[in-house]
Amino acid sequence: MHTQRIAEMIESKRESFIKVSDRIWEFAETRFEEFQSAELLASTLESEGFTVEKGVGGIKTAFIGSFGSGGPVVAILGEYDALSGMSQKKGQAKQEAEVPGANGHGCGHNLLGTASLAAAVAVKQYMEENNLPGTVRYYGCPGEEGGSGKTFMARAGLFDDVDFALCWHPMGYNSIMAMNSLANYQVYFKFHGKSSHAAASPHLGRSALDAVELMNVGVNYLREHIIPEARVHYAVTNTGGFSPNVVQSFAEVLYLVRAPKVELVQEIYERVCKIAQGAALMTETEVEIVFDKACSNLVQNQTLEEVMYRNFQQLGVPVHDEAELALAKEVRATLTESELRTSEKETPDGPDVDMVTWLNSYNGEQRPLNGSSDVGDVSWITPTAQCTTACFINGSTLHSWQWVTLGATSIGHKGMLHAGKVMAATAVDMLKNPELIEKAKVELKQRLGKEKYVCPIPDDVMPSVKK
């Protein structure tokens, strides 16, 4: 059976993959600055016999590693960016930064990118051993966190000839990701005013910071009048300095607008822009609106998900030893009651435990995901499926120090390697059964109906490293 052979392939190289993952965890590079992480993954692919094209889509830290020729073409998506300010020492049940204020892998993308690497390597080896036709590609996708790297890559047409795509995400449970994600826009609002002495001549100043504050108040009132599924977040990214006796001549706020579909995001975005313009009028400042990035909602493909689920069932789930369970228990003891209650929603098929030991059932039904992912843009172009494996404690949340601390331990490693096996086995299953690929494509067309993929990022917007 191909699942067993795939598992053997990945296990034979487990130490190499673990080393890659841990190095990326140490690099902890944020969006579009993942130079060391991208180079490590690319060089590993080259050593495994892949041809690597770097700087694809006009993004310095994006790349594609390819093996084979002709169709079918399978894309295995990898991410490797970290989050700012999330530094944390590994393997301990106490929040403590490795380097205060530094970056950290609070979303497990060091595991994500490496599992996809393992999957691509295993698919290549299986294709060679069995003379299986087709092409396997590893897509090095930077800037998922606040950058939508895949959306820029989609705009460049890099997925147009792909027959199906696979991805995954480390979580606290094992499942098929049959989810609806939210589309989003991320936009800077930069206010330009006039500085003056705040005591001697305040009447001569025009406060850009006042404009930011008024805008935020206006958007807070807007929240009552948008659809309940939508989300609007903001961060003041520049307050105009640290001197209260100076009227701030410049201030900036970054907004993230989410909704189930791009057209709904556009409607809310237009209203947010009107509020910004109103704030500028009230303060006699000027507002500059700078579009940063966007991504589309996910389009489910049940055909591909069913194949992934079948292979997941055959492979089982990660199994943890006593030392790992002891560490999991310690870390889980740091969660609040509210955080623990999330496990009731995410792990419906089992008891309240520190580490999930089962595979969530799958029946094709979609669950809402209030977050966003640039995998959504890929799913509009080609059939796409994702899974999750238990890399973290039950009930823990993304973007938490608990995720950072476990992301470079054997708990994270086991989930990572298992995800690689599930994706590789799924890819091989599809390649061996081209009729399933055609069925998945037909399903995608039916789900889209008359809708066509339109990249939500304007043509003149380029990837930015600003965070």
Q: How confident is the model at residue 320 (pLDDT cuts 50, 70, 90)?
A: very high
Q: The tokens of 203 are what?
A: 């009447």
- Compute, in degrees rounded to 10, the torsion defined by CA atoms 462, 154, 254, 99: -90
- pLDDT value of residue 347: 75
Q: Is the pLDDT of residue 467 over 60?
A: no
Q: How confident is the model at residue 365 (pLDDT cuts 50, 70, 90)?
A: confident
- Stretch 237-263: mean pLDDT, rounded? 96
- Stretch 348-353: mean pLDDT, rounded? 82
Say which residues have a Cβ less than 8 Å from residue 455's Cβ, sequence separation at least 6.
Answer: 151, 154, 155, 377
- pLDDT value of residue 1: 78
CB 327 within 8 A of CB 389: no
Place of tokens 């030392």: 323
- pLDDT value of residue 89: 97
Indicate the residue type of 108: G
- pLDDT value of residue 464: 85
- pLDDT value of residue 378: 98
- Stretch 214-223: mean pLDDT, rounded? 98
Measure the CA–CA gap between 320 and 414, rounded to whole angstroms. 8
Measure the CA–CA gap between 265 and 297, rounded to whole angstroms. 11
Nearest residue to 22 via CA among 98, 77, 84, 93: 98
Q: What is the pLDDT of residues 405-432, one digit of tens each?
A: 999 999 999 999 999 999 999 999 999 9
Q: The tokens of 69 are what?
A: 């020729």
Nearest residue to 445 via CA among 377, 381, 376: 381
- pLDDT value of residue 352: 86
Q: Between vectors from CA 182 to CA 179 and to CA 185, what angle results, nearest 5°?
A: 155
Of 177-191, 234-248, 359-373, minimum mean pLDDT range: 359-373
- pLDDT value of residue 369: 77
Measure the CA–CA gap between 213 and 208, rounded to whole angstroms. 9
- pLDDT value of residue 191: 98
Q: How confident is the model at residue 166 (pLDDT cuts 50, 70, 90)?
A: very high
CA distances in angstroms from 191 to 11, 124, 297, 387, listed in the order given: 54, 52, 30, 42
Domain architecture of the chain: domains with CATH = 2-181+297-448 (3.40.630.10), 183-294 (3.30.70.360)
pTM of the model: 0.95
Measure the CA–CA gap between 169 and 415, rounded to whole angstroms. 10
Nearest residue to 378 via CA among 122, 66, 121, 78: 78
CA distances in angstroms from 433 to 72, 381, 423, 426, 430, listed in the order given: 10, 21, 15, 11, 5
- pLDDT value of residue 458: 95
Measure the CA–CA gap between 154 and 138, rounded to whole angstroms. 15
CB 295 within 8 A of CB 151: yes
Measure the CA–CA gap between 257 and 264, rounded to whole angstroms. 10
- pLDDT value of residue 259: 97
Q: What is the pLDDT of residues 260-306, one digit of tens each?
A: 999 999 999 999 999 999 999 999 999 999 999 999 999 999 999 99
Residues found in the chain: 467
- Stretch 28-53: mean pLDDT, rounded? 98
Q: How confident is the model at residue 348 (pLDDT cuts 50, 70, 90)?
A: confident
Q: How confident is the model at residue 349 (pLDDT cuts 50, 70, 90)?
A: confident
- pLDDT value of residue 343: 63
Q: How confident is the model at residue 340 (pLDDT cuts 50, 70, 90)?
A: confident
Average pLDDT over the chain, rounded to whole?
96
Of 58-62, 232-236, 343-347, 371-375, minimum mean pLDDT range: 343-347
Bridge-based pairing state of the strands 51-54 and 63-69: antiparallel
- Stretch 8-36: mean pLDDT, rounded? 98
Q: What is the pLDDT of residues 59-75, one digit of tens each?
A: 999 999 999 999 999 99
